[in-house]
Amino acid sequence: MKAAGVRATLGLTLLVALQGAAAETQAVSDAGFTVVQATALGTEPQKVWQAFTELPRWWNPKHSWSGQPGRFTLELQAGGCWCERWGDGASAMHGRVLMVLPGSALRLQAWLGPLQERAVNGVLTLGTAHRDGQTRLRLSYVVAGAPGAGLDKLAPTVDAVLAEASQRLQRYIETGRPE
């Protein structure tokens, strides 16, 4: 397991006690990796959940095909699409909703950035837990592919993108603006 104190990028499991923000890239191999971003917030879980559901508002448009945040949609139901549409009928599916647990978790099968063109499976989970007067926010992204897929080389970049996404989400929750 190696610690990754890099810029940000996107299994809900039990949360351990967290102080501030923590980032970790785990189980890195040429066939997969896990990125975890965890943050303690001083706000109620419902506000965090509401921010999750507004993913198109806080996701960085630099990590999109169109470069325009208004082009994203997120359908909050199993099978729903996290999609982007632009131009003359152009579109991309960034993810498909696997699970919605209002107030606590949103899970997507997601193919972020360069992973979309590879034969991989990625599961992105945004989850919350409320403990000791704090809401703990956790983003995890588990990616698996064929042996020899070279995913170990992409892990630091994906970690950076998810670290940034986590920071943008935190700012959006705290101020209403992701920048």
What CATH class does 2-6+26-175 carry?
Answer: alpha beta
- Tens-digit pLDDT profile for residues 125-143: 999 988 888 899 999 999 9
H or E element that contains 173: helix 151-175
pLDDT at 9: 24
Which pair of tokens denotes residue 36? 């975890």
CA geometry: angle 94, 109, 74, nearest 5 deg: 50
CB contact at 8 A, 122 and 112: yes
Give the rounded percent of residues in the chain with a pLDDT score beyond 70: 87
Tell me, what amino acid is at 179?
A: E
β-partners of residue 40 are 136
Quick one: which of 82, 69, 67, 7 has its CA closest to 37? 7
What is the value of pTM for the model shown? 0.83
